[in-house]
């Protein structure tokens, strides 16, 4: 916060200094040049940091300064001065208009990107629905079983209270399991973009895999976890990173649909990269990536599936790079693909 406000203060000071310099030049020259045109530099530099209204106020201030210079120089060479001031003012107006347009377009693009992210998250969760429903159903079914048993223990004469109590304990455990799943799903669906913060990557990986467990079991895919215990927390948006992981796992599942059941396997690992970043990898024994140009799978709408959207990897790359990391895909020597991404460790934890 403090860094931001002191940088803002510096920016304002620089802008004022530049404006003062232009003003002096504009006032003291004999209007051989439209010095006022240089105010556009200030307007362009400020465009990203100011609101539309603030930018218009700034433009008005520049125009007033231009007129003031004209007046202060005693209307020296009146006609040339008038023309150059006019040119300066028109330049300021046109620049302000274009800067406002540009900022509006940038805001629109950002909004569209955010909407796309939400759609993609919903579709990732959509693909996981069956798996999630199964995860909730299992404990619910177990609760019914334990409930029936409990009733039987109580109906005995005399009632077996010990057994009944054990059954109730199992019911409570299962209820907690079901509600944990809901909490995890809720965590992954939070609509708004979040702020990055420091979190441990391993539990985040395990949560995604537990939501996908039924899907993995349904396809007969055993999972090997190779999680390093000596990792610093990473600094990123946890929900988005889980979305990346879910995308990679679902891609791996789809890539292994043609692999004979006995040879399917998924390996998910976390490790420390030599440069200190935290490396997360998802390796499968599927078809491998099609032989294409390097980065093609990461392009938006590039897909080899008849019902694919081609957004999973492109969005994953966007998320990882926005977090200051990188992502790449390689084919493994023994067949199958490996997707690897790296995230920066939380500040002050790289030791």
Ligand X SMILES: Nc1ncnc2c1ncn2[C@@H]1O[C@H](COP(=O)(O)OP(=O)(O)O)[C@@H](O)[C@H]1O
Query: Residues in the site for Mg ion, rule: CB under 5 A?
Result: 251, 312
Looking at residues 272 to 311 of the shown chain, list those that interact with ligand X (rule: CB under 6 A). Answer: 284, 286-290, 297, 302-305, 308-311
What DSSP character marks residue 112? Answer: H
Q: Which of 167, 337, 340, 346 binds ligand X (CB under 6 A)?
A: 337
Q: In terms of DSSP bridges, do strands 223-227 and 278-284 run parallel, antiparallel, or are they unpaired? A: unpaired
Closest by Cα among 40, 35, 37, 8 to 24: 35
| Partner interacting with residue 327 (select from Mg ion, ligand X, none; CB below 5-8 Å by kind) | none
| Partner interacting with residue 210 (select from Mg ion, ligand X, none; CB below 5-8 Å by kind) | none
d(CA 350, CA 344): 9
d(CA 70, CA 81): 7
Number of residues that bind ligand X (CB under 6 A): 23
Q: Which of 313, 320, 327, 343 binds ligand X (CB under 6 A)?
A: 313
**Residue 63 near residue 26 (C-beta atoms within 8 A):** no
d(CA 270, CA 280): 4
335 contacts ligand X (rule: CB under 6 A):
no
Nearer Cβ to ligand X, position 203 or 308? 308
How would you classify residue 74: left for phi > 0, otherwise alpha for psi between -120 and 50, otherwise beta? Answer: left
Secondary structure (DSSP) of 58-81: HHHHHHHHHHHHHHHTTTTTHHHH
| Partner interacting with residue 309 (select from ligand X, Mg ion, none; CB below 5-8 Å by kind) | ligand X
CB of 250 to Mg ion, least distance (A): 6
Q: State the binding string over 13-52 for ligand X (x if CB under 6 A, else -).
A: ----------------------------------------
CB of 341 to ligand X, least distance (A): 13
Secondary structure (DSSP) of 136-201: HHHHHHHHHHHHHHHHHHHHSSS--HHHHHHHHHHHHHHHHHHHHHHHHHHHHH--SPPPPEEE-H
Nearer Cβ to Mg ion, position 55 or 120? 120
Q: In terms of DSSP bridges, do strands 223-227 and 326-331 run parallel, antiparallel, or are they unpaired? A: unpaired
Nearer Cβ to Mg ion, position 89 or 315? 315
Binding residues vs ligand X (CB under 6 A): 247, 251-252, 255, 284, 286-290, 297, 302-305, 308-314, 337
């Amino acid at each position: 916060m403090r860094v931001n406000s002191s940088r803002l203060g510096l920016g304002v000071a620089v802008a004022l200094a530049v404006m003062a310099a232009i003003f002096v030049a504009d006032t003291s020259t004999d209007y051989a040049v439209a010095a006022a045109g240089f105010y556009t530099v200030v307007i362009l530099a400020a465009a990203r940091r100011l609101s539309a209204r603030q930018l218009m106020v700034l433009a008005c201030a520049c125009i007033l300064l231009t007129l003031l210079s004209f007046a202060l120089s005693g209307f020296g060479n009146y006609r040339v001065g008038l023309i150059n001031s006019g040119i300066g003012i028109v330049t300021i107006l046109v620049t302000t208009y274009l800067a406002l347009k540009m900022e509006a377009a940038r805001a629109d693009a950002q909004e569209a990107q955010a909407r796309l992210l939400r759609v993609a998250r919903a579709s990732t969760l959509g693909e996981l629905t069956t798996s999630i429903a199964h995860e909730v159903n299992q404990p619910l079914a177990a609760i019914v079983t334990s409930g029936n048993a409990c009733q039987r223990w109580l109906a005995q004469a005399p009632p077996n209270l010990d057994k009944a109590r054990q059954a109730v304990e199992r019911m409570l455990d299962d209820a907690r399991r079901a509600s944990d799943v809901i909490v995890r799903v809720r965590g992954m669906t939070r609509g708004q973009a979040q702020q990055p913060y420091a979190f441990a990557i391993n539990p985040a990986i395990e949560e995604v895999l537990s939501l996908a467990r039924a899907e993995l079991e349904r396809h007969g895919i055993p999972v090997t976890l190779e999680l390093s215990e000596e990792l610093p927390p990473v600094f990123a948006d946890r929900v988005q990173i889980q979305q990346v992981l879910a995308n990679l796992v679902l891609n791996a599942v789809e890539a292994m649909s043609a692999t004979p059941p006995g040879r399917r396997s998924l390996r998910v690992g976390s490790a420390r990269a030599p440069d200190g970043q935290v490396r997360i990898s998802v390796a499968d024994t599927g078809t491998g990536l099609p032989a294409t140009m390097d980065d093609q799978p990461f392009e938006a709408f590039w897909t080899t599936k008849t019902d694919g959207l081609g957004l999973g990897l492109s969005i994953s790359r966007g998320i990882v790079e926005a977090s200051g990391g990188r992502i790449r895909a390689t084919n493994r020597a023994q067949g199958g693909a490996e997707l690897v991404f790296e995230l920066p460790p939380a500040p002050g934890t790289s030791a």
